[in-house]
Amino acid sequence: MRVLHVDPEPAWGGGETQVLALLAELAARDVTVRLAAHPDGPLARAAAARGVPLVPLRVRNHLDLGAALALRRLVPGHDVVHFHTARAHALAPLCRGRGARLVVTRRMDYVPTGGPYARFLYNRAVDAVIAISEGVRQALLRVGVRDDRIRVVPSGVDADACVAPPRAGEGLRAAWGFTPDDVVVLVLGALERRKGHAVLLEAAVELTASATRLRYVFCGDGGEAAALARAATPLGAGVVRFAGFRDDVASCLAAADIVALPSLREGLGVAALEAMAAGRVVVASQVGGLAEVVAHGETGLLVSPGDARDLGAALAHLAADRELRRRLGAAGRARVRARYTTARMAEGTLACYGEAPCA
């Protein structure tokens, strides 16, 4: 089987992490993979380092006819073309009728905009839609995507890669200026409003009088960085650390006691999977796929989205109970290994590829 993957985004995010993992898993199953990507983007560099054949593809916007025609010329010779982002998906109509099955992955849990045109893109421009969670599937159904077009294939992680070498966490924790008695809350992800980081800082301010051992580390970059730094000012020096983008996720997880995902929207939450794979307890908003990944009271705690008081209560509860953190973390590790591995993601994707293209 020959599969052309299309992800032209110039930046790096959770979706690109998943694309890279899927490329590796498919190649291990003797699938011939090829990637059309922005030539200067981090995904292209990471894929090239792993020996994935690359096709440069710059997409200026959703109406880039030149990019669509360039992609159309690439389709013959492939059995499947897999679109991984909205800008990639917008190129799909001109790729019809070229002999390949067309598949798109939807990662966002909000209802797609565009009304009739969105329905055309999902119902007519492609043969199948992969939703990474049931929450994403429900959002697609609400805009009018046909149920028979949707396959739910959850994202996955390499569980072993999420575990850091011995003492890596201790060294990083010390470098961040935290003591063994501090309870470190780690936040992984882009500093964007939809991630709910401001809600976490609001909760942290409310907790200052009762939970003085809590410390917070934000790993990621984004447009909300300056606003979040201002919101952290009342907490004083040494309580909050903005560590920027990190590629040593396993070490960051090893340095943490709790991982918080206060998202206002979330398709699935790869950061939650990574944290659970590392045996770290997760506190997450009950939105989108997070509500499916985290089993409340069994592998972590779920809180109401946007509710600083509810989030603060969950953090305080976990901060005060080391054994509870250990037990929930261990259960989370087992859940990820059973349900959310990159191998399972690849098998589900291959099952979708194996169906015939629509006429």
pLDDT in tens, 177-236: 999 999 999 999 899 999 999 999 999 999 988 867 999 999 999 999 999 999 999 998
* Alpha helix (H) residue ranges in 278-321: 290-293, 308-319
Burial class (CB in 10 A: 0-12, 13-18, 19+), 226: exposed
In a domain, 209, yes or no: yes
In a domain, 130, yes or no: yes
Domain that holds residue 91: 2-156+341-353
Q: In what order do the strands lie in the sheet with 281-285?
A: 240-242, 214-219, 183-188, 258-261, 281-285, 300-303
Q: Say what the pTM is.
A: 0.88
In a domain, 265, yes or no: yes
Q: Does residue 16 surpass a pLDDT of 60?
A: yes
Note whether 138 and 180 are same-domain residues: no
Note whether 10 and 102 are same-domain residues: yes
List the one residue out of 221, 225, 284, 277 whose CA is nearest residue 253. 277
Q: Cα(163)–Cα(176) distance, rounded to whole angstroms? A: 19
Q: Does residue 139 surpass a pLDDT of 90?
A: yes
Q: Cα(266)–Cα(284) distance, rounded to whole angstroms? A: 10
Q: Which two tokens stand for residue 17?
A: 């992490």
Q: Cα(316)–Cα(357) distance, rounded to whole angstroms? A: 52
Tokens 């997409």 correspond to 59
Beta partners for 187?
A: 218
Q: Which two tokens stand for residue 255?
A: 């340095």
Burial class (CB in 10 A: 0-12, 13-18, 19+), 172: buried
% residues pLDDT > 70 (the chain): 98
Note whether 196 and 331 are same-domain residues: yes
Q: Cα(356)–Cα(327) distance, rounded to whole angstroms? A: 45
Note whether 125 and 103 are same-domain residues: yes
Tokens 């990471």 correspond to 46
% residues pLDDT > 90 (the chain): 89
Note whether 152 and 178 are same-domain residues: no
Note whether 182 and 66 are same-domain residues: no
In a domain, 358, yes or no: no
Note whether 52 and 126 are same-domain residues: yes
List the one residue out of 158, 161, 160 whose CA is nearest residue 344. 158
Query: Is residue 54 within 8 Å of 22, Cβ to Cβ?
Result: no
Number of H helices, E strands in the chain: 15, 13
Tokens 């792993």 correspond to 50
Note whether 187 and 332 are same-domain residues: yes
Query: Is residue 138 within 8 Å of 199, Cβ to Cβ?
Result: no
Tokens 């939809």 correspond to 194
163: CATH: 3.40.50.2000
List the one residue out of 116, 61, 69, 108 whose CA is nearest residue 92. 69
Domain count, the chain: 2
**Span 142-175, pLDDT tens digits:** 999 999 999 999 999 999 999 999 889 999 999 9
In a domain, 359, yes or no: no
Note whether 122 and 221 are same-domain residues: no
Note whether 271 and 323 are same-domain residues: yes
Q: Which two tokens stand for residue 233?
A: 């000012």
In a domain, 25, yes or no: yes
**Span 320-348, pLDDT tens digits:** 999 999 999 999 999 999 999 999 999 99
Tokens 């292209």 correspond to 44
Note whether 27 and 143 are same-domain residues: yes
Q: Cα(337)–Cα(119) distance, rounded to whole angstroms? A: 35
List the one residue out of 239, 284, 233, 238 whose CA is nearest residue 258. 284
Residues 6+ apart with CB under 8 A from 89: 83, 104, 121, 125, 126
In a domain, 103, yes or no: yes
Position 103 scores a pLDDT of 98
In a domain, 311, yes or no: yes
Position 359 scores a pLDDT of 42
Note whether 139 and 261 are same-domain residues: no
